Structure 1
Amino acid sequence: MARRRTGTQTTLGNRVSLSGVGVHSGEQVSVTLHPAEADCGIYFNRTNLEDGRDREIPADFRYVNATDLCTSIGVSGASVATIEHLMATLRALDIDNCAIEVDGPEVPVMDGSAEAFVDAVDQAGVEHLSAPRRYIRIERPIRVEMGKSFAEFVPHDGQRIEVEIDFANHLVGRQAFGFDVCGKVFRDEVCRARTFGFYADVKNLWARGFALGASLENAVVIGEDRIMNPEGLRFTDEFVRHKALDAIGDLALAGAPILGCYRSYRGGHKLNHMALQALLADRDAWSIVELPARRETGHGELPAALAAAAFGPDVS
């Protein structure tokens, strides 16, 4: 298992494959995670396209093309959706370089959580590389607002996530969850939290041709007066824990670990993306550092290596 805030980059020790249903298409999708060289970052290799050509899609916030139902990235002629749970796993387990081969338009939803991706990384193992790891350090606060929702980055000595949700439905209500991001806490308290949605919304999405793969096997479904899953919840506050999981995955598109605290209130994929865009557009708000020496490499453009690096609106 990779240690937190080590001075060098990592990749996987071996390739590993897994498959499952796509939550939107309802079709089987296979994903293979490959080791990658230092400074390659994380990128998707989209295969099985109609024109027979594969497309490489960097896991980078500048390639985000949708945030309504999930987080999707794309280039001309290809896209990959529902990437947030896999990206959260790679970030939380300190995987810096990985080539992700996927033969469909979305990463499989598995059981609605990131647990299967954690198992895949454990199976592949972690290899430490000689190149230094670079971090994006928050130098001053950045905040974005969207209606009653807000998100902000503030300076913090470490990698911290603080998420609060507030739903009118009494089965969800107001919940808050915060933690310092590390592999152990992610494994024990975050990765098993599943995506969730309201049954009324799911029926509407089905009628529109979305969420065709959604079921009680891969999501927590909230009915009018009860949780519809026979096994109930995995955590009493599983809803906000899953929002924290999504936030880690969305912020992983920065291309490097973020040294700072990210807070959100009533957030989702769109707000996470807006906050990351606002942060990286302000060159005085962040700097690139290396640890443990913490040598600052200055402001300006993201290094080239960094640059390449649910099923209901805002409830995934």
Structure 2
Amino acid sequence: MDVPLWVWLATIGAMIAILAIDLAIVDHPWSKKSGPKEFGVKQAGWWAAFYIGIAIIFGFGVWYFGGSTAAGEYFAGFVTEKSLSVDNLFIFYLIIGSFAVPKKYQHEVLLVGIVIALVMRGIFIAIGAQAINAWSEVFYLFGAFLIYTAVKIVYDHVKQDDGDQDFTDSFAVRMVKKVWPVTDDYHGAHLTVVQNGKRYVTPMLMVIVAIGVTDLVFAVDSIPAIFGLTQDAYIVFTANAFALLGLRQLYFLLAGLMDKLAYISWGLAVIMVFIGIKMLLHALHENGVHVPEVSIGMSLTVIIGVMVVTIVASLLKARYDGKKAESVDAGK
């Protein structure tokens, strides 16, 4: 789509306004008496539905102004990025659990994580768009990288099951600890405190550092994926932004289901392989090789189909495991 500068500015301004309204309503930053509050499941559900709703409405707007092809690219990109964001939530869940973040401060940590993710992805979108315009062969690199990403997703999933990941001892966290001493306890939402005349950083800053590094890794993984579906920078940006908006509400909504979505990483791996192959075919086609190309309609069908099968299979497994555990307890 040929998107004028004022539309870009208006879109970015609207994103900032939505985040500001979210912050004002949920966190009550002006209120010194109330302080941070725990985020309820019902509240999270309403907010998650709101964000998904405005993402869908925006998609219909793309359809109206840009046509069905642009809308198909947007929805395929949104579903893919939302799926990757859910996988991102699993890592956030592990990080927050590793650092034992009090529940009333978790939504503040997630908000910072989302803002960092938006900035990271904006930078990588700009880099990716320039790379594609300057060098069409970059699709070979992106395609191979996505297939590698699929393998890494499965490996990381297995590693998490083995309990080998310790986010409190990551490289970035160790580097911060070498520069500043860290307090043992949280001091509200403060990132630093002064104790005995000396500046300390709090575990809250350590959490943000760990999440920031995670956002960087996921930005590297997710941007090639959506460029495999569309090369329109505006669609890439908006699909990513709407996938990230409402992510912290979705975290609290899915917190009780984290252990039940056992196959989510496998589904994402399949999607990454599919998009990687799509990109390789596109690169071959661009270089004069007569190979079939995957349509955006087929892409959207495969992506939604894989995620539906993945979620249903995960819930069925959770139900089976629950019944199996009950039968074992009954037999004792």
TM-score tier (shorter) = 0.3 to 0.5
Using the size of structure 2 for normalisation, the TM-score is 0.31
Pair member with larger Rg: 2
Higher relative contact order (CA closer than 8 Å, sequence separation 6+): 2
